Structure 1
């Protein structure tokens, strides 16, 4: 048997190279399949009804004189606020926290944190009802370790991220014009 294999290899001098190439192609194929399985599903939806802000607050206004807000964090260019005397809720859904942020004294971002699959289902249902349904393509993965959805309007971008393994979610509601300043200011001051 060994003699036969040696004879075949001598007859085909590139046999080792061909076998190793096939093995490498098979490994590469498995790697690509693994990447697709673990890939984060991300979906972007054109927003149906741009809110132009959050709650009754429009993008760009200063939040310093609003009595129902209290400062939670402040530095040279950004200030974070939360509502003073009300529990954190979003769309009548109890959440862990709601933070409103300004950059250069202009309202630019809302960050909402929540826990639990039930809250996630309620938040996703509210966002779809308010800003546009997510297209569900046959074979598309709607569940996974991480789920990301984005609604883009003319003035507002809403991003939802849910980490199933940690059972927590984040909603970022941002001014499309002002939110990039957060990155600019952080890189300018190395904060």
Structure 2
């Protein structure tokens, strides 16, 4: 009888293992846009963007009159990144540990618990990720939304 229980338990684990590995992905839907701009939107279709004119920021843009809050958190800037002329990433910069906590709490309320590694915390979907990081030395951090799918 004990052998039968052990075999049953092993079979159950074999069927549950793929489900456990799939648990790395968030069960809520991935964001399809940032502030109303959908991933994959052509640069020409996004009004009021200005190029970031600094070395290393090719295909990176900002809005002159960007709203500088994320929920209750104060942010310092928002950057819009384009690949093949289409929006695929947004970066939000902030300073201060209090803003870090406010942003993280808001993201957890939207997507559930994420995963943390060192100073990084994030959420993953098959073709999308949200990453939040914080650097104690510079007392600031970043929030990155990255669409990793095909840009139709």
Q: TM-score, normalised by structure 2?
A: 0.70
Which SS does the other structure have where 1:125 is aligned? helix
Give the total of aligned pairs. Answer: 126
What's the C-alpha RMSD, in Å, of the aligned pairs?
2.7
Moved segments of 4+, more than 3 Å:
none
Tell me the residue number matched to 2:120: 148
> For 2:34, which of 54, 65, 87 is the aligned residue?
54
For residues 95 and 65 of structure 1, do their structure 2 counterparts lie closer, same or farther at Cα, with a shift above 3 Å needed? Answer: same
Higher radius of gyration, 1 or 2: 1
Q: Which whole-Å CA distance do the structure 1 matches of 2:29 and 2:35 have between them?
A: 14
Tell me the residue number matched to 1:19: none
Structure 1, unpaired ranges of 5+: 1-43, 136-141, 180-191
Q: Which structure ranks higher in relative contact order (CA pairs < 8 Å, sequence separation ≥ 6)?
A: 1
Q: Which whole-Å CA distance do the structure 2 matches of 1:116 and 1:45 have between them?
A: 29
Structure 2, unpaired ranges of 5+: 1-23
Which SS does the other structure have where 2:45 is aligned? coil
> Do the aligned residues in 2 keep the contact of 1:148 with 1:159 (CA within 8 Å)?
yes
For residues 155 and 95 of structure 1, do their structure 2 counterparts lie closer, same or farther at Cα, with a shift above 3 Å needed? Answer: same
Higher helix fraction (1 or 2): 1
Tell me the residue number matched to 1:83: 63
For residues 56 and 67 of structure 1, do their structure 2 counterparts lie closer, same or farther at Cα, with a shift above 3 Å needed? Answer: same
